[in-house]
Amino acid sequence: MKKYSLFTVLIGIFCLPNLFYGQTSITVEETEDAPIISKHIYGHFAEHLGRSIYDGIYVGEDSEIPNKDGVRTDIIEALKDIQIPNLRWPGGCFADTYHWKDGIGPKEERPSIVNAWWGGVTEDNSFGTHDFLNLCEELGAEPYLAANVGSGTVQEFSDWIQYVNHAEGSPMADLRKENGREQPWNVKYWGVGNEMWGCGGNMTPEYYANLYRQYATFMTSWENENNLYRIASGANQDDYHWTEVLMRDIPKHLIEGVALHSYSFVEWQDKGSATDFNEAQYFSTMKTALWMQELIDKHTDIMDKYDPENEIDLIVDEWGAWYDVEEGTNPGFLYQQNSMRDAMIAGVTLNIFNNESDRVKMGNLAQTVNVLQAVALTEGEKMLLTPTYHVLKMYTVHHDTKLLSVEFESPNYTYNGESLPAISMSASRNDAGNVNISLVNIDAEKENKVEIDVDALDVENMTAEILSSAELQDHNTFDNPDNIVVKEFKDFKLRRGTLEVTLPPFSVVVLKQE
């Protein structure tokens, strides 16, 4: 009988591929009561803030920059490519200073407004209700109007609904027709104010709950009283008392959704640069991004107490990364670059939303163009797509698909004595029966290998894409807009019902069944 030394045996064990070391086992299953991942989880947010609307989206019909009715055609094409499902407008904090009638009628006759929240600049109201709703029609996206509660009136709010939704035979419908729009837009999604705990009026939740009841009572679409989707201004991050009061004090027949706002940031200092950061700052930012899971869990627990039937949705209508503005830009414009760190934030956040899609029915990334974690940046005629944009495009496979159950224990990403789960994942099956899997490895240094049991799902003919780069700080610039792009991914195997995938450091991988 041949003899082996202990050293030889140990070497043999550790050299066996994917058997004892560095492997994470994941089980993906189908459950009967699994929710649908609403495409509206992948929504966006465009506020009158800095260069978001003017210059970012809207340049005017007389601009030399190619446009359709004043809206940049490159932005239109980019948003269509990520199948944008909804767009929130006009704010944000701006919403509760905005009076919609200032933005209709002949552009040369519209009054100007000082944007008191963002830079103190004067705007001419050339981009208004018609411009926004026509843009949404062009994009095939549902408009989400955030209405003025902080400085407006119930009558003003009710008139806006009538203006955009009433077909004919009313003063506001007649006014809309005078302004060139015959048919109503039939806007479904309405925010009843924004951040009422802060810029919306510094209200207590008890006061706002009563005010909300008043506004919601006077909301009707006339054609169908039940087709408006009313969203209450919800909590700031972990203000669980705010959610408690809204769920307790607002009758169910007056509300369809409760909002939640949470941004990712460096915990222990000023926000820091979007591109000049170290691993400590990266780790801290990812910690606040992953905090989204706890926030949803705890807010959902409160909602379950008052709404066990799951009739009221959680709407995370502001999320994303918040850093210092780029050097030399207006501090009130919130213009920041977008690196691989932001791709990590987008990937893990969207996986959380997918996995919590029984309660989370809409999300709105802040913001679409030139502000915070934007999907696109503009500079004159130039436009670039950010790493965040590419993640959203990769994840379109999850739109309106059935959630698959995922079970695993993630390996740790450890830095300076603290640990975070390194791997984030969600999976779905579309109407054609094809399985889609999105994986994120946030570890700044180590690759992670995963073994995914898909035997029960009848999976075959998988293809994959990856978003990765050499450095976390890498980003796209106007001189090098394709520095970070989605590429074909081949470092995986599917055999006998098992997917074996090697995830590089700080990467996003999406596998699709063809």
Confidence of residue 220 (pLDDT cuts 50, 70, 90): confident
pLDDT digits (tens, 9 = 90+) for 424-450: 999 999 999 999 999 999 999 999 999
CA-CA distance, 205 to 236, in Å (whole number)? 11
Mean pLDDT over residues 211-235, rounded? 86
| The CATH fold of domain 38-399 | TIM Barrel (3.20.20)
Q: Which two tokens stand for residue 137?
A: 């029609």
In this prediction, residue 514 carries a pLDDT of: 84
> What is the bridge-based pairing of β-strands 229-236 and 189-192?
parallel
Mean pLDDT over residues 476-497, rounded? 96
In this prediction, residue 221 carries a pLDDT of: 66
Q: Which two tokens stand for residue 216?
A: 């919601």
- Lowest mean pLDDT of 67-81, 222-236, 453-467, name the range: 222-236
> Catalytic: which of 123, 142, 256, 318?
318
In this prediction, residue 270 carries a pLDDT of: 81
Mark whether 195 is an active-site residue: yes
> Catalytic: which of 195, 206, 418, 471?
195
| CATH code at 21-32+404-513 | 2.60.40.1180
Confidence of residue 267 (pLDDT cuts 50, 70, 90): confident
Mean pLDDT over residues 467-494, rounded? 97
Q: Do 21-32+404-513 and 38-399 fold alike per CATH?
A: no
Q: Decide if 434 contacts 512 (C-beta within 8 A).
A: yes
In this prediction, residue 17 carries a pLDDT of: 39
pLDDT digits (tens, 9 = 90+) for 333-381: 999 999 999 999 999 999 999 999 999 999 999 999 999 999 999 999 9
Q: What is the pTM of this model?
A: 0.93
Q: How far apart are the first and last CA of the chain?
A: 51
In this prediction, residue 268 carries a pLDDT of: 74
Mark whether 142 is an active-site residue: no
Write down the domain spans for the chain.
21-32+404-513, 38-399
CA-CA distance, 119 to 361, in Å (whole number)? 33
Q: Which two tokens stand for residue 125?
A: 């109201």
pLDDT digits (tens, 9 = 90+) for 240-260: 999 999 999 999 999 999 999
pLDDT digits (tens, 9 = 90+) for 301-328: 999 999 999 999 999 999 999 999 999 9
CA distances 373 to 92, 289, 453, Å, are 15, 13, 34
- Percent of the chain past pLDDT 70, that is, above it, reads 95
